[in-house]
Amino acid sequence: MEYCIVSGHYMWPDLSAILDTDLTTKPSTRLDPIGSLEQPELQPENHVYRDPATQHFDWVVTANHRRPDGVLKRIYLINGLFPGPTVEARPGDRLIVNVTNSLEDEPISIHWHGIHIENAMDGAVGVTQRPIPPGSTFTYNFTIPADQSGTFWYHAHSGLIRADGLYGGLIVHKPSPKPTVRGLLARADEKGTASYASYDRDVLLLIGDWYHRSADQVYSWYMRAGSFGNEPVPDSLLINGVGHFDCSMAVPARPVDCIFRQMNLSYLDAKGDAAYRVRAVNTGSVAGFTLGFQNKEFSLIQVDSIEVEQEDSNSAGVLYPGQRMDIILRPGPDKTPSSMTIDLDKECFRYPNPALASIQTFDITKSSDNTSSTISPSNNTISLSEVATRKSLLSGLPEKAHQTHVVYTKIEKLSINHNVPYGFFNRTSWKPQIDTPLIDLPRDKWDGNQLVLSTGSSTSRALPSDKDQDLWIDLVVNNLDDSGHPFHLHGHHFYIRRTYQAPVGWGAYNPFTDAYPPGLAPESSSSSRADTPYDLSRAQLRDTVYIPSRGHAILRFRADNPGIWLFHCHIIWHQASGMAMLLQI
């Protein structure tokens, strides 16, 4: 049975004056205040016990000047909110989102990150849709697959708009087998599996690096020979759209309009035996991060919306741009000060930015003398790149794929391009074909900026012998760059069979010419069979993979979602400079 919900529930408590207003029809123009922004808990009990529903949303995209971390900046808003409204749903829900572009001269689109939806609703400008021009409305109409639940997000996928704030959370609550009272959510599963780990509250943290200049200004600096290909180092860090920036640390050459702003994370202070599910999303433009807690431990239960073999620690990382992780945060000893630390990964920080504190600690509860607590370094940080997917999710992974494709990626500064850093796959630097999206064009009308690997029928590509059998693809991605890259595939998750970084040399692998992957030849490796890429029990199911510098990744995925899908680096400066390609399924 399907019924209709018109959503009026949004997530930001200091906007309480407008929470009684139906924001689906009347956007707010209230400026966010200077002060703390407390993140309220999500409302899973409104979704886990009901039948699938149709939810309607009316969003109006505007821009205005706000002070997310105390520094005045023009940012993008949805219904007057930054970040945008948090969408909560369950599998099987149909979402109808009317997006009106009320910007003066900027086209937009929205991508639903991690959701396996039909191609036309993916939001990738130049691939699946035309951008939404100013004054126009586009309706995203899709159904959340029955087999997907967890933490997702949405964000702009046109130009650089994501870096200036057009994003928000998308939470898909897994249905519960039977109603339980609030505070005992998901405790019905006596097996204690990760999908029903015990927790009492559900909290979303949208965490990301932040620039005080506009994304266009930052990208203009990057795309010149004088940057020498060094990625722009951010100025600050935001959690749910709020940060605290030391105004005295602003770079003199780039003066800012700054007012001190305080962060408040007291909503993470679990009392008694309560436990919180904390959903962390990296909404940043360039930096991964490690998340840690003082005097609290947690269980990691999901990465990229996929259940993992549970691990306990007080620190986990690196979570790269676009990725998500879910943890069950348990309370510490009573009256013990606690804090949360975000340690930004410095791989892309190749020059100093004195404005940025790359390690930031936020009090959850202070000590009795009201001094700030500090976090002790963890000796057992969970490495997200090594966390195993739950074994039950690997049962359908076949021993062999039907097709194998090999690509090479690199950022190059070529004299023909005036030594400006462009991203390449093979010898193609991607640019969106704006006027007409690829899905509406015959292949012979695609321009030369589109590197597309097709899984379609041909004499050179193997197909399943049974027409009803799933088609499985192996994609070998060789990263010839001096930096690692987090790559995201639209419309699919994939199994990571292996990632590798060469101690010397390039670390590239071509299964058509190489008898063994680098480092695994019998004469060069004493590793057991369990360490080879052919041990499928070690595969990880993700929608984003970090491929280390001068290394490679071997990915396997089921080609069961027809369309043209973008595969790109989620560092926005690399994506914009061309580090993207397409898979046609």
Q: Do domains 208-366+380-387 and 393-461+468-516+534-584 have the same CATH topology?
A: yes
State the DSSP H helix or E strand holding residue 376, giving kind and residue range, or none if neither.
Answer: none
Domain boundaries, given as residue ranges, for the chain? 44-178, 208-366+380-387, 393-461+468-516+534-584
- Does position 144 have pLDDT exceeding 80, yes or no? yes
- Does position 12 have pLDDT exceeding 50, yes or no? no
User: Which tops the pLDDT comparison, 364 or 217?
Assistant: 217
In CATH terms, the superfamily for domain 393-461+468-516+534-584 is Cupredoxins -  blue copper proteins (2.60.40.420)
Q: CA triplet 207, 210, 216: central angle to 5 degrees?
A: 135
In Å, the largest CA–CA distance within the chain is: 75
Q: Where are the alpha helices (DSSP H) in 273-415?
A: none
Q: What per-residue confidence (pLDDT) applies to 519? A: 75
Q: Give one DSSP letter per residue of 3-40, joined into a string.
A: EEEE------GGGGGGTTS-TTTS---PPPPSS-----
Question: With bands split at pLDDT 50, 70 and 90, how would you rate the model's confidence at 7?
Answer: very low
- Does position 398 have pLDDT exceeding 50, yes or no? yes
Peptide bond just before 83 cis, omega within 30 deg: yes
* 44-178 is classed CATH 2.60.40.420: yes
Question: With bands split at pLDDT 50, 70 and 90, how would you rate the model's confidence at 141?
Answer: very high
Question: With bands split at pLDDT 50, 70 and 90, how would you rate the model's confidence at 531?
Answer: very low
CA distance 555 to 529: 19
- Does position 154 have pLDDT exceeding 70, yes or no? yes
Tens of pLDDT along 433-492? 988 999 999 999 999 999 999 997 443 445 555 555 789 999 999 999 999 999 999 999
pTM of the prediction? Answer: 0.89
CB burial of residue 247 (10 Å; 0-12, 13-18, 19+): middle
Percent of the chain topping pLDDT 90: 69
Of 358-372, 463-477, 528-542, the range with the lowest mean pLDDT is 528-542
Residue of 283, 259, 319 lying closest to 68 (CA atoms): 259
- Does position 3 have pLDDT exceeding 50, yes or no? no
Q: Which two tokens stand for residue 135?
A: 């004054």
The answer to whether the CB of 226 falls within 8 A of the CB of 214 is no
The answer to whether the CB of 62 falls within 8 A of the CB of 102 is yes
Q: What per-residue confidence (pLDDT) applies to 34? A: 38
The answer to whether the CB of 382 falls within 8 A of the CB of 388 is no
CATH architecture of residue range(s) 208-366+380-387? Sandwich (2.60)
Report the phi/psi class of residue 51: left, alpha or beta, with left for phi > 0 and alpha for psi in -120 to 50. beta
Q: What per-residue confidence (pLDDT) applies to 85? A: 95
Mean pLDDT of the chain: 86
Q: What per-residue confidence (pLDDT) applies to 320? A: 99
Q: Which two tokens stand for residue 103?
A: 């910007």
- Does position 358 have pLDDT exceeding 90, yes or no? yes
Percent of the chain topping pLDDT 70: 83
Cβ atoms within 10 Å of 311's Cβ, excluding its own: 18
In Å, what is the CA distance from 371 to each residue of 262, 339, 363? 15, 12, 10
Q: What per-residue confidence (pLDDT) applies to 21? A: 29
Q: Which residues contact 134 (CB under 8 A, 6 or more apart)?
A: 101, 102, 103, 104, 105, 106, 107
Q: CA triplet 302, 304, 305: central angle to 5 degrees?
A: 60
Q: What per-residue confidence (pLDDT) applies to 418? A: 87
Question: With bands split at pLDDT 50, 70 and 90, how would you rate the model's confidence at 520?
Answer: confident
Question: With bands split at pLDDT 50, 70 and 90, how would you rate the model's confidence at 365?
Answer: confident
State the DSSP H helix or E strand holding residue 50, giving kind and residue range, or none if neither.
Answer: none
